[in-house]
Every structure is written in structure tokens, then in C-alpha cells.
């Protein structure tokens, strides 16, 4: 599945990028053939998606929240309100960020062998709260550009008040794993004789036509970068 999203301009030189870490948390115990160790695979998954799930412990209770994010080189930027307890608690300990792209439903002859074709990334680390305005703006730009490339330069920049009310966390991509499942159903050989359909139903992300804000002044057209951004899938 192609999204036509342009690559992040801040990618490190591939020749200098270290392979993905091989820690006890990132090494796969099962289905090891699905693991990817190339850092470019991690970048590709993160750059194609626009929502991650942030796992953090708040007051002793685990909490997982869908969160917009953006990547700048080997740093993942997460954003939210300064009043969000999840973001306030995150810098005090480790967090886990996950991203999953679903490419297909794998329907087998046996219920036991149904599966999903997917690409996923898991990142562990201790996030750093971003306090300097320059880096905060860079992080917010990464988030906006990950969701809608070209939109940062088209929209009004944050005011000082807006910037102060926005929390940004920087999470290094030092400890991460990537896992892919692609291909056909894997049925038991004896089940091939069953009169049951088996195969893959592709899943693609599609965007509709832009819908203008009812308060939009007359004569303002859809900017050119939006159709290019959302012609995906």
C-alpha cells in the first residue's frame, strides 16, 4: 500500500544509521522471520502512519492513548495539551509507542489460521519534555507535516500563548522493533481439500474530497498541496 507521502527531509545519512537495537524487549520470541532490522523499515512505517498509541503509567495505572506524532530524523515528537496527565506523567518514566499499518485480512480455511497482513513498529524509551521554543516549533512542524505535508507553511504559526499551552515530548528512536506479516494464508495441507474460500482481502487507506469549513470566506480555493497529500492508497 502506497501513501505517496514524501520522505522526511531530516533523515540521517543511511550509511551512518545504526541498525535497529537488539534488546530483550525488541527481539521477537515467536515468528522471528517477521522481524525487520533495517532502520529504513522503521522510518517507513512511522512516516506512513499519522497516529500512534502512547502507553504510559499514570498514578500506577497503565494508559494507552491515540496520539498524533511526527518524526524528525531519529527523534519522534509527540504533542498534546500541557494539562494532559498522560503527557505530564510520561517524562517521569519509560513509555511505549506503537504504530500499526493494516495491509490485508488473511482469511484461511481454518479459523485457527486467520491472520492480518500488517507492518508495525514498537518504540521504547524515556521521553524528554521539549521546553525551548525553537525545538518545540520544530517538533510541532514534524507532527503537522506528518499528518498533512505542506500544511505547516500554509497555516498561521502558533502564537506564544498557543505554544505555551502545548506540550511536546521528544522520544529517541534508540530502542525499537519492526515486524511485518505479509503473504497468503498458511493452512494445514489436509485443509486444502475443504470447500472453503481462502485468500487475502486488501485493506487500503483512502481519503475523500476536501470539505470546506462553512465559515470559509468565498474565493479561497483548496490549496495545491492538499490534493497531492491525500491522493493515497
| Tens-digit pLDDT profile for residues 80-98 | 765 566 666 556 689 999 9
Q: Residue 82 has what pLDDT? A: 59
| Tens-digit pLDDT profile for residues 11-24 | 554 434 678 877 77
Within-domain flag for 87: yes
Mean pLDDT of 25-53: 84
Q: Which phi and psi angles does 195 have, rounded to 5°?
A: -85, 60
The CATH number given to whatever domain includes residue 21 is: 2.30.110.10
Which segments of the chain are extended strands (E)? 35-36, 51-58, 61-72, 75-81, 95-107, 115-125, 128-129, 166-172, 175-181, 199-202
Domain that holds residue 143: 14-103+115-185
Within-domain flag for 4: no
Q: What is the count of structural domains for the chain?
A: 1
Quickly state the pLDDT bin for 5 (edges 50, 70, 90): very low
CA distance 144 to 163: 14
Amino acid at each position: 500500500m502506497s501513501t505517496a507521502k514524501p520522505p522526511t527531509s531530516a533523515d540521517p545519512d543511511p550509511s551512518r544509521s545504526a541498525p535497529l537495537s537488539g534488546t530483550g524487549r525488541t527481539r521477537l520470541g515467536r515468528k522471528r522471520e517477521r522481524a525487520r532490522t533495517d532502520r529504513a523499515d522503521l522510518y517507513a512505517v512511522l512516516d506512513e502512519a499519522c497516529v500512534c498509541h502512547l502507553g504510559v503509567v499514570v498514578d500506577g495505572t497503565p494508559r494507552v492513548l491515540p496520539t498524533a506524532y511526527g518524526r524528525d530524523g531519529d527523534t519522534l515528537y509527540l504533542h498534546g495539551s500541557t494539562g494532559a496527565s498522560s503527557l505530564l506523567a510520561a517524562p517521569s518514566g519509560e513509555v511505549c509507542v506503537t504504530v500499526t499499518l493494516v495491509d490485508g485480512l488473511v482469511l484461511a480455511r481454518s479459523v485457527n489460521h486467520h491472520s492480518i497482513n500488517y507492518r508495525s513498529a514498537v518504540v521504547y524509551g524515556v521521553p524528554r519534555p521539549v521546553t525551548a521554543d525553537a525545538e518545540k516549533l520544530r517538533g510541532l512542524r514534524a507532527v503537522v507535516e506528518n499528518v498533512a505535508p505542506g500544511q505547516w507553511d500554509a497555516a498561521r504559526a502558533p502564537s506564544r500563548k498557543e505554544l505555551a499551552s502545548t506540550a511536546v515530548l521528544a522520544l529517541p528512536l534508540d530502542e525499537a522493533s519492526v515486524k511485518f506479516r505479509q503473504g497468503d494464508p498458511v493452512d494445514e495441507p489436509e485443509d486444502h481439500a475443504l470447500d472453503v474460500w481462502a485468500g487475502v482481502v486488501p485493506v487500503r487507506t483512502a481519503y475523500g474530497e476536501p470539505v470546506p469549513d462553512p465559515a470559509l470566506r468565498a474565493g479561497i480555493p483548496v490549496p495545491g498541496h492538499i490534493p497531492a497529500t491525500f491522493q493515497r492508497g
